[in-house]
Amino acid sequence: MSATDGAPAPFGRRLAEAMAAAGPLCLGVDPHPGLLADWGLEDTPAGLEEFSVRALAAAAGEGTLRVAALKPQVALYERHGSAGVAALERLLARARDAGVLTIADAKRGDIGSTMDGYAAAWLDPASPLAADAVTLSPYLGYGTLSATVERARAAGRGVFVLALTSNPEGVSVQHAGAAEPEGAVAARIVAAAAADNARLAEAGDWGPVGLVVGATVADRAAALGVDLAGLRGPLLAPGYGAQGATAAGMRDGFGRAWPQVLATSSRDILRQGPEVGALTRAIEAARAELTAA
């Protein structure tokens, strides 16, 4: 909440402050079955719970914030139905109590009339699944996300819209149309997001709309006519670590937009578990590498 009027502080400001304080790293919390086994945990809701508690302790234990945000991978909790979702709810609540921003990686997208249900689930402060931000898919048309963007802004929360994803298959959709006057699909999404932020951002802040731009593909943006530096918002960059992207490569690939980048890493850090101390050291190493780049 802002100190003056009781209104929620904008997500863009809260994230920028967290990145300034803790550095540009987001810890992905991805309880893959293989990781759970490596940690000596069962692939059960109780195993997910212990995995989540340890990841959060490494990210923000003993009052020290080591990451700017935590990004739970929703699908890996949903595998266990309502009990898995309950474990996710408790992770979100614990992160809130620890002062860590959360980005629910749910990749939601639907026709307008039902999109509002997803928006309520992930962004309404009263929802048990409320996160500070949620990832969204624009592939039913960017306009289907308008009400969600407005709800996020009103609640001091944010969204990250998939623009250029880190996986090779994304090219077939996101690069399409590059030869047309309106440009590639990705460029149109980035332009629409920038227009929302230009309208909704408060003076001096990032707007509520961030983009997902893979760390592995950032160097393709310029050739597609994508202006990431003009977004006036954060860039969530998966692909650092396990998918092969390096801090130096990301800095070069993102160019002028590098100060907006929140690099997210899951497996590369989590595979150092289960000891919280070893996880903490892996986080510190990634954070130092990113900060130095």
Ligand X SMILES: O=c1ccn([C@@H]2O[C@H](COP(=O)(O)O)[C@@H](O)[C@H]2O)c(=O)[nH]1
Q: Which residues are catalytic?
A: 107
Binding status of residue 280 toward ligand X by CB under 6 A: no
C-alpha pair distances (Å), 170 with each of 28, 162, 176, 213, 214: 21, 10, 10, 11, 10
Q: Can you tell me which of 30, 43, 196, 205 binds ligand X, judged by CB under 6 A?
A: 30
Binding status of residue 229 toward ligand X by CB under 6 A: no
Whole-number minimum distance, CB 121 to ligand X, in Å?
A: 19
Binding status of residue 166 toward ligand X by CB under 6 A: yes
Binding status of residue 165 toward ligand X by CB under 6 A: yes
Whole-number minimum distance, CB 168 to ligand X, in Å?
A: 11
Binding status of residue 286 toward ligand X by CB under 6 A: no
If the CB atoms of residues 7 and 176 are measured against ligand X, the closer one turns out to be 176
Q: Can you tell me which of 12, 158, 214, 234 binds ligand X, judged by CB under 6 A?
A: 214
Q: Can you tell me which of 12, 28, 31, 234 binds ligand X, judged by CB under 6 A?
A: 28
Whole-number minimum distance, CB 236 to ligand X, in Å?
A: 8
The secondary structure of the chain, three-state, reads CCCCCCCCCCHHHHHHHHHHHHCCEEEEECCCHHHHHHCCCCCCHHHHHHHHHHHHHHHHHHHCCCCCEEEEEHHHHHCCHHHHHHHHHHHHHHHHHHCCEEEEEEEECCCHHHHHHHHHHHHCCCCCCCCCEEEECCCCCHHHHHHHHHHHHHCCCEEEEEEECCCHHHHHHHCCCCCCCCCCHHHHHHHHHHHHHHHHCCCCCCCCEEEEECCCCHHHCHHHCCCCCCCCCCEEEECECCCCECHHHHHHHHHHHHHHEEEEECHHHHCCCCCHHHHHHHHHHHHHHHHHC
Whole-number minimum distance, CB 28 to ligand X, in Å?
A: 5
* Span 93-122, contacts to ligand X by CB under 6 A: 105
If the CB atoms of residues 271 and 281 are measured against ligand X, the closer one turns out to be 271
If the CB atoms of residues 200 and 247 are measured against ligand X, the closer one turns out to be 247
If the CB atoms of residues 265 and 280 are measured against ligand X, the closer one turns out to be 265
Q: Can you tell me which of 73, 148, 197, 260 binds ligand X, judged by CB under 6 A?
A: 73
Are 286 and 237 spatial neighbours (Cβ–Cβ below 8 Å)? no
Whole-number minimum distance, CB 201 to ligand X, in Å?
A: 24
Total residues interacting with ligand X, rule: CB under 6 A: 19
Report the Cα–Cα distance between both ends of the chain, in Å, rounded: 33
Whole-number minimum distance, CB 154 to ligand X, in Å?
A: 26
If the CB atoms of residues 89 and 268 are measured against ligand X, the closer one turns out to be 268
Given the rule CB under 6 A, which residues bind ligand X? 28, 30, 73, 105, 165-167, 212, 214, 238-239, 241-243, 264-268
